[in-house]
Structure 1
Amino acid sequence: MKYISLNEQTQIPIIGSGTNTFGKVGRQYQAPLNHDTSEIISAISLGYRHFDTAVSYRNESVLGLAIEESVVPREDLFITSKIPTREPYLESNAMIHEVIQGSLEALQTDYIDLYLIHKPTNNMDEMLNLWHILEEYYKKGTFKAIGVSNFHEAQLQYLIEHATTPPMVNQIESHPGHWQDDLIAFCQQRGIVVEAWGPLTNISDEAKDVLQDIGAKHEKSWAQIALKYQIQRDVVVIPKSHNPENQAANLLLFDFELTPEEIERISAL
């Protein structure tokens, strides 16, 4: 596994697992929880150590249960969660603290490796107030790293200019057909690590054909090529699969390298 440093104490595995449909009836996002931990336990057994959840997913407790069930020590796992920015979560500072404590309790942990603002609002003063609270937990060590999700350049710049601690991560949608090269360059130039959510979603058949053609030369699938392109440019990927075979395949990215010509073809998708 390759790691990227977020700060002097914290490194993030460059491959993680999304979880937004884990532990839910029918594996549907809006479905009730059934607290099935099998997908997470499978992922851990295959070598995943990085898991991404959120308050909005309603399943932090499922990940917490899997952590308790796992034979892997908590300190060997990297856990991300996110605070929502819709009502009622931001109605007061007291509510923000309550939400954060709820994340810690649901995850059955006394610290979280990475905590993110899930989505920006149009009120950047509101975002800055929320960020200052996250900074408090970071300074106490309750959060090992803090960041944001779905922020564009101007929103990031506002936090950089007004915060004591700049964002360490920006988790964004990035996949073939929507690489977000400019935003990724903006972040990386400022020391902000980029994570790609949905790295294997909304991909056209034409893009899959190109990726598969490249994959045939490396004996890899189109999905592995799409993920490899991201990690080869130091973008963290968090694909999600309920299938153990696909979970395993998503980790098999370190035994080959894309050539400059292949990278050029992929970047043009």
Structure 2
Amino acid sequence: MSTIPIVTLNNGVEIPQLGFGVFQVPDDETTAAVAAALDAGYRSIDTAAIYGNETGVGRALADSGIPREELFITSKVWNADHGYDATLRAYDTTLDKLGLDALDLYLIHWPTPRRDLYLDTWRALERLYADGRVRAIGVSNFQPAHLDRLVDAGTIVPAVNQVELHPALQNRAVIADDDRHGVATEAWSPLAQGAVLADPAITAIASARERTPAQVVLRWHLQQGRIVIPKSVTPHRIAENLDVFDFTLTDDELAAIDALDRDGRTGPHPDEFHG
């Protein structure tokens, strides 16, 4: 079983650098997928209220027999639940569905600036953290303007900013702003849902290394210090995605993947997700 590197967040909490995501996995398929991930050696599981599969994740956790302290569980508050009181209620619902007493990481899923409630939502997360009900708090899909405003207004700097990030969408301005604030960058859709895996630059490296294109892309993320949460429902791919710690890409190989960034694209605009 692979030993997964640890990233220490800005509050001292440790998170596995490679975790398992369940975005777009139906609830009735989630238990089996998470069980396969846990069997393969993953210990970090990322879900969200809007995914509709927290119950499925909870079943897999309960069935696994793995001690709670060995697991790192993340979920997210959805746009419709922004606001101080609504966020506290949403957190209780998430815990009930997961069958847990606390989360390791709780994120604001989108800033939803048209509603302009994310500062109130953040106050609720700060309350949960102060009360010891969550080990770390953070954000997701925050652009620099949103993160800067939240840091200025809040009392706790987010531990994580989870954003879409892959070779075709590298979000360099977001990473730079995260780094400036001491916020860890976590990549969702790190494989672009497979869209980048046929790129000639990636397939050439994979062929030379006798690795899968997905393994090459995950290695690219890891060597640049990012946390990644690839998703799959296929057991052999789940295991393959974890088998990335016994090789290292060269500087030239990293640069070849860096060159795949699409100029001018910064990902979905947060105003599109106002809930």
2:66 matches 1:72 = yes
CA deviation map 1:25-82 (0-9, x unaligned): xxxxxxxx43651111111010000111001011111111111101211111110000
Q: Is the 8 A contact 1:196 1:237 kept in 2?
A: yes
Pick from 158, 169, 189 the counterpart of residue 167 of structure 1. 158
> Residue 244 and residue 119 in structure 1: after superposition, are their counterparts in 2 closer, same or farther (change >3 A)?
same
Hey, what's the Cα distance between the residues in 2 that align with 1:179 and 1:94?
35
Hey, what's the Cα distance between the residues in 2 that align with 1:6 and 1:124?
29
SS at match of 2:242: coil
Amino acid at match of 2:137: I
What TM-score, normalized by structure 2, do the two folds share?
0.88
1:21 maps to which residue?
A: 24
Amino acid at match of 1:50: S
1:28 maps to which residue?
A: none
2:32 matches 1:38 = yes
Select the structure with the greater relative contact order (CA < 8 A; seq sep ≥ 6). 2
Alpha-carbon shift at residue 204 of structure 1 (Å): 5.0
> Residue 134 and residue 72 in structure 1: after superposition, are their counterparts in 2 closer, same or farther (change >3 A)?
same
> Residue 36 and residue 228 in structure 1: after superposition, are their counterparts in 2 closer, same or farther (change >3 A)?
closer
2:226 matches 1:235 = yes
Alpha-carbon shift at residue 247 of structure 1 (Å): 0.5
2:42 maps to which residue?
A: 48
Amino acid at match of 1:51: I
The RMSD of aligned alpha carbons is 1.8
Q: Is the 8 A contact 1:176 1:203 kept in 2?
A: no
Aligned residue runs from structure 1 range 105-120, under 5 A:
105-120=96-111
SS at match of 1:195: strand
Runs of 5+ in structure 1 lacking a partner? 25-32
Hey, what's the Cα distance between the residues in 1 that align with 2:198 and 2:30?
34
1:60 maps to which residue?
A: 54
Percent identity over the alignment is 38
> Residue 202 and residue 102 in structure 1: after superposition, are their counterparts in 2 closer, same or farther (change >3 A)?
closer
SS at match of 2:24: coil
Amino acid at match of 1:77: L
Amino acid at match of 2:208: K
1:101 maps to which residue?
A: 92
Alpha-carbon shift at residue 201 of structure 1 (Å): 2.0
1:2 maps to which residue?
A: 5
Pick from 130, 133, 148 the counterpart of residue 139 of structure 1. 130
Amino acid at match of 2:192: T
2:215 matches 1:221 = no
Amino acid at match of 1:157: D
Deviates more, 1:160-169 or 1:198-207: 198-207
Aligned length: 257
Alpha-carbon shift at residue 205 of structure 1 (Å): 6.2
Pick from 156, 163, 166 the counterpart of residue 147 of structure 2. 156
